[in-house]
């Protein structure tokens, strides 16, 4: 059992070391200071042993008092030197340990983030932000602690133990054998406890991750929580999870310490035997008094490493659990698309190819449940098309596929004649500008948000984008103007203001293809009108795909594509579809009917009057 539990963990730790091999100089320095610190700490028992023998000889009259005095004083001086050296080395080791610990944390954090940013959208769909953060913090903290323990204590302990063993063997092999069996026996006894310990630790972590995930969601949407008066129930479910970790800790720690009593009892009995042997062999004249003092001190030195084996095992277990979590994320396959930074060249444009084309595209978020069935359509350069279909009918999914956020199950999505799977994905995303229903701004200034897709934009360009997006007037009314801080996700702005900044952001990105996914549907009529003006400016001379909630917006497009049950139902100009008897015609007549029942039916299409 213990072996099985240990084989995998050791390889996890080896993986951490390999993963951070750039730190090898620091690792080497840690080993060197540990070796030197051990040598100096081992010198002390010898010096004390020598002083004891000198004192015994002086008492027996075999050395003159003056020789004895000078020898003993020198012993004391050397002990001072050894202690000083050990002080310096310990601090040097501590410094290297701190630096290594932090470098390790930096390295692990940056790589984790780098990895997260390449993970496919589908991974994010089923993860909670707070959980991701909690997991990252825990695994990295625990790996860091482990590194610190290793550098500050483990190596010097191991070396001390090995050296003591060698020295004892020199004095009497029997002692060395006793000590030698003690180490593995103790580690084995410790590892017996480890499976249950790890299992409980994993349960605790799960509770904390779930609680943290919810915590971040609640804090991020505090307005909703407050408006539904759910503070106390959110708090109590948070507290319940944490209290469960209290209970689990009680069980875990009781188990650990109960076992520790047994382990140490075994250890104490072994030390009893060792002391007895040393005393008896001194009595029988095999060891001098000095030898006895030396050996007892050495045994004392080795006791600490053995006892702290359980602590080392404890830290390692946490690190193992942490690194498992860490690598479970690092091992997830990243987005399937190649990026330009990987040297994928842009293929030459295909003459007369439509700007966007979907050919027999089928897609499912979850295997076996196709959301899109054989979707085919094209949008030519400069054309504006509208997608119309029931709520949940797959309109946003088409946008997701166009952005390469998900991969079509079958069929082809192409931009200017090239399958997007063959284009660098960053290039695809650069070519498509999107304004979503939710503006999704970032904390920071208005300027930073407008320039998010083009950080190098000049002030003039930013102002121009804001002006065309119909945002400059309200921005200039703020005392700080473009330097106004807008709060997390832009919470300090109104919905209409946020959306106009999102339009300015898309304006500045200046992508040849534009997608508006219900860009104004979260707004009231007045805000909608001002945003719509910005959107009209944004759409001018651009290939556009519009998903809108107002038939009046749709009426102005070149062609409409209607979706029914995930299939393309009709494609045609607004005038053609108005009389074809299909979805669009139905919507128009419902709108004209103006009755309550009609409004209700319209709402199924995310359409308002
Ligand atoms: N990330 C997702 N994971 C699983 N199912 C999804 C996901 N996003 C959307 N869906 C499902 O796909 C269908 C189409 O959604 P969507 O394209 O957003 O519809 P809409 O036409 O309203 O934009 C819906 O049934 C929705 O439940
Ligand atoms: Mg949608």
Report which listed range, 1-10, 123-132, 148-157, is most confident: 123-132
Strand order in the sheet with 432-435: 432-435, 513-517, 543-547, 384-389, 559-564, 567-572
Domain residue spans in the chain?
Answer: 2-330
Q: Is 513 helix (H, G, I), strand (E, B) or coil?
A: strand
- How far is the centre of ligand 1, averaged over its atoms, from the C-alpha of 112 (Å)? 29
**Among 253, 352, 239, 251, CA closest to 310:** 253
Query: Does residue 337 or residue 290 have the better pLDDT?
Result: 290
Say what the alpha-carbon torsion angle 114, 117, 118, 124 is, to the nearest 10 degrees: 140
Mean pLDDT of the region 25-34: 86
Task: Tell how far the Cα of 396 is from the centroid of ligand 2, in angstroms.
Answer: 4
Could you identify the residue written with the tokens 């620091």? 26
Which residue(s) pair with 276 in the sheet?
Answer: none
- Measured from the Cβ of residue 219, the count of other Cβ atoms closer than 10 Å reads 12
411 CA to middle of ligand 2, Å? 21
* H or E element, residue 562: strand 559-564
Q: Output the residue whose Cα is nearest ligand 1's atom 18.
A: 396
In the beta sheet, which residues pair with residue 434? 515
Q: What pLDDT was estimated at residue 609? A: 58
- Residue 535 pLDDT > 50, yes or no? yes
Element (H, E) at 560: strand 559-564
Q: Which residue has the higher pLDDT, 201 or 357?
A: 357
pLDDT at position 127 is: 87
CA 372 / ligand 1 centre spacing (Å):
10
What residue's CA is closest to ligand 1, atom 24?
392
Ligand 1 pocket test: pick from 120, 121, 365 the residue with the most ligand atoms within 8 Å of its Cβ.
Answer: 365
User: Which residue's alpha carbon is at the smallest distance from atom 7 of ligand 1?
Assistant: 365
The tens digit of pLDDT for each residue in 430-484 reads 999 999 988 889 999 999 999 999 999 999 999 999 999 889 999 999 999 999 9
* 2-330 CATH: 1.20.1560.10
Query: What average pLDDT does the segment 532-550 reach?
Result: 88
Q: Which of 411, 355, 358, 425 is nearest to 383 (CA)?
A: 355
pLDDT at 64: 87
Residue 8 has pLDDT above 70, yes or no: no
User: Closest ligand 1 atom, CA of 566?
Assistant: 14
pLDDT of residue 344: 66
Between CA 600 and CA 605, with CA 604 as vertex, the angle to 5 degrees is 120
Mutate to test the pocket of ligand 1, among 387, 392, 606 (most ligand atoms within 8 A of CB): 392
Which is the closest atom of ligand 1 to the Cα of 391?
22
Whether the full predicted model's pTM is greater than 0.85, yes or no, is no
The rounded distance, in Å, linking the Cα atoms of 437 and 420 is: 24
**Tens-digit pLDDT profile for residues 275-310:** 999 999 999 988 888 888 888 888 888 887 777 777
In 356-413, alpha helices (H):
395-402
Pocket test for ligand 1, best of 366, 371, 522 (most atoms within 8 A of CB): 371
The Å distance, Cα 451 to ligand 1 centre, comes to 30
By percentage, how much of the chain surpasses pLDDT 70?
A: 97
pLDDT of the residue at 145: 84
User: What is the 8-class DSSP label of residue 550?
Assistant: B
147-206 confidence digits (pLDDT tens): 877 777 777 778 888 888 888 888 888 888 888 888 778 878 887 887 788 889 889 989
The closest-lying atom of ligand 1 relative to the alpha carbon of residue 398 is: 17
Report CA(87)–ligand 1 centroid distance (Å): 64
Q: Whose CA is nearest to atom 19 of ligand 1?
A: 392
Question: Hey, whose CA ends up nearest to atom 25 of ligand 1?
Answer: 392
Mutate to test the pocket of ligand 1, among 120, 367, 396, 561 (most ligand atoms within 8 A of CB): 396
**Rounded distance, CA 79 to CA 100, Å?**
31
Mean pLDDT of 362-369: 94
Name the closest-CA residue to atom 2, ligand 1: 365
Which of 127, 389, 394, 569 to mutate for ligand 1's pocket (most ligand atoms within 8 Å of CB)? 394
Beta bridge partners of 485: 445
Residues in the chain: 609
Q: What is the pLDDT of residues 246-274, one digit of tens each?
A: 999 999 999 988 988 988 888 888 889 88
pLDDT at residue 6 tops 60: no
| Across 305-330, average pLDDT | 81
Q: What is the mean pLDDT of the chain?
A: 87
DSSP state of 442: -
Whether 505 shows a pLDDT value over 80: the answer reads: yes
pLDDT interval class at 504 (50, 70, 90) = very high
- Calculate mean pLDDT across residues 233-254: 95
99-120 average pLDDT score: 90
Q: What is the pLDDT, as a whole number, of residue 9?
A: 63
How many A from CA of 228 to the centre of ligand 1?
26
Round to the nearest angstrom and report the end-to-end CA distance of the chain.
69
For range 373-397, the mean pLDDT: 93
Q: Which pLDDT does position 343 carry in this prediction?
A: 65
Residues near ligand 1 with C-beta < 6 Å?
A: 125, 365-366, 371, 389, 391-397
Please compute the mean of the pLDDT values over residues 399-406 and round it to a whole number: 94
Nearest ligand by distance to the CA of 391:
1
Q: What confidence category does residue 536 fall into, taking pLDDT thresholds of 50, 70 and 90?
A: confident
pLDDT for 544 beyond 50: yes
Q: How confident is the model at residue 242 (pLDDT cuts 50, 70, 90)?
A: very high
Atom 27 of ligand 1, residue of closest alpha carbon: 392
- Find the DSSP H helices in 491-524: 495-509
- CA of residue 70 to ligand 2 center, whole Å: 92
Residue with tokens 């595209």: 361
């Amino acid at each position: 059992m213990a072996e099985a539990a240990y084989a995998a963990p050791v390889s996890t730790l080896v993986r951490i070391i390999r993963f951070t091999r750039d730190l090898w100089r620091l690792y080497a320095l840690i080993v060197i200071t540990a070796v030197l610190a051990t040598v100096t700490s081992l010198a002390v028992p010898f010096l004390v042993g020598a002083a004891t023998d000198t004192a015994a000889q002086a008492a027996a009259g075999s050395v003159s008092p003056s020789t004895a005095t000078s020898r003993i004083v020198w012993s004391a001086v050397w002990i001072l030197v050894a202690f000083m050296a050990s002080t310096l080395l310990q601090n040097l080791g501590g410094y290297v340990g701190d630096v290594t610990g932090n470098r390790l944390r930096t390295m692990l954090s940056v790589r984790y983030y780098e990895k997260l940013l390449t993970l496919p959208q589908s991974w994010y769909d089923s993860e909670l932000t707070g959980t991701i953060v909690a997991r990252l913090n825990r695994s990295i903290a625990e790996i860091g602690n482990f590194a610190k323990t290793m550098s500050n204590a483990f190596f010097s302990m191991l070396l001390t133990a090995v050296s003591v063993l060698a020295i004892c063997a020199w004095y009497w092999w029997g002692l060395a054998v006793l000590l030698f069996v003690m180490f593995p026996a103790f580690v084995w006894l410790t590892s017996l406890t480890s499976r249950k310990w790890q299992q409980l630790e994993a349960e605790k972590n799960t509770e904390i991750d779930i609680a943290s995930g919810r915590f971040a969601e609640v804090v991020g949407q505090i307005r909703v929580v407050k408006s539904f008066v759910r503070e106390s129930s959110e708090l109590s479910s948070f507290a319940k999870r944490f209290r469960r970790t209290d209970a689990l800790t009680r069980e875990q720690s009781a188990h650990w310490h109960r076992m520790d009593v047994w382990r140490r009892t075994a250890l104490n009995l072994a030390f009893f035997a060792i002391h007895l042997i040393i005393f008896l062999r001194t009595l029988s004249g095999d060891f001098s008094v000095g030898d006895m003092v030396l050996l007892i001190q050495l045994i004392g030195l080795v006791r600490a490493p053995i006892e702290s084996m359980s602590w080392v095992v404890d830290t390692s277990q946490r690190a193992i659990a942490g690194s498992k979590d860490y690598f479970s994320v690092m091992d997830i396959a990243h987005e399937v698309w190649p990026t330009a930074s990987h040297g994928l060249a842009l293929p030459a444009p295909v003459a007369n190819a439509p700007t966007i084309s979907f050919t027999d595209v089928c897609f499912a978020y979850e295997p076996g449940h196709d959301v899109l069935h054989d979707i085919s359509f094209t949008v030519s350069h400069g054309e504006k098309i509208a997608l119309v279909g029931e709520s949940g009918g797959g309109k946003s999914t088409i946008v997701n596929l166009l952005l390469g956020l998900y991969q079509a199950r079958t069929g082809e999505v192409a931009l200017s004649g090239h399958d997007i799977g063959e284009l660098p994905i960053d290039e695809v995303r650069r070519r498509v500008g999107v304004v979503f229903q939710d503006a999704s701004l970032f904390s920071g200034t208005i300027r930073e948000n407008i320039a998010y897709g083009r950080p190098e934009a000049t002030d003039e360009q930013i102002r121009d984008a804001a002006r065309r997006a119909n945002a400059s007037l309200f921005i200039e009314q703020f005392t700080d103007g473009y330097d106004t801080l807008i709060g997390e996700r832009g919470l300090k702005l109104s919905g209409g203001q946020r959306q106009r900044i999102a339009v300015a952001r898309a304006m500045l990105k200046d992508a040849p293809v534009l997608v508006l996914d219900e860009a104004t549907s979260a707004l009231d009529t007045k805000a909608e009108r001002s945003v719509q003006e910005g959107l009209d400016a944004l759409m001018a001379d651009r290939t556009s795909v519009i998903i809108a909630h107002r038939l009046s917006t749709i009426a102005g497009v070149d062609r409409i594509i209607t979706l029914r049950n995930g299939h393309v139902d009709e494609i045609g100009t607004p005038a053609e579809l108005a009389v074809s008897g299909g979805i669009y015609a139905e919507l128009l007549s419902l709108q004209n009917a103006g009755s309550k029942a009609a409004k209700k039916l319209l709402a199924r299409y995310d359409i308002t009057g």
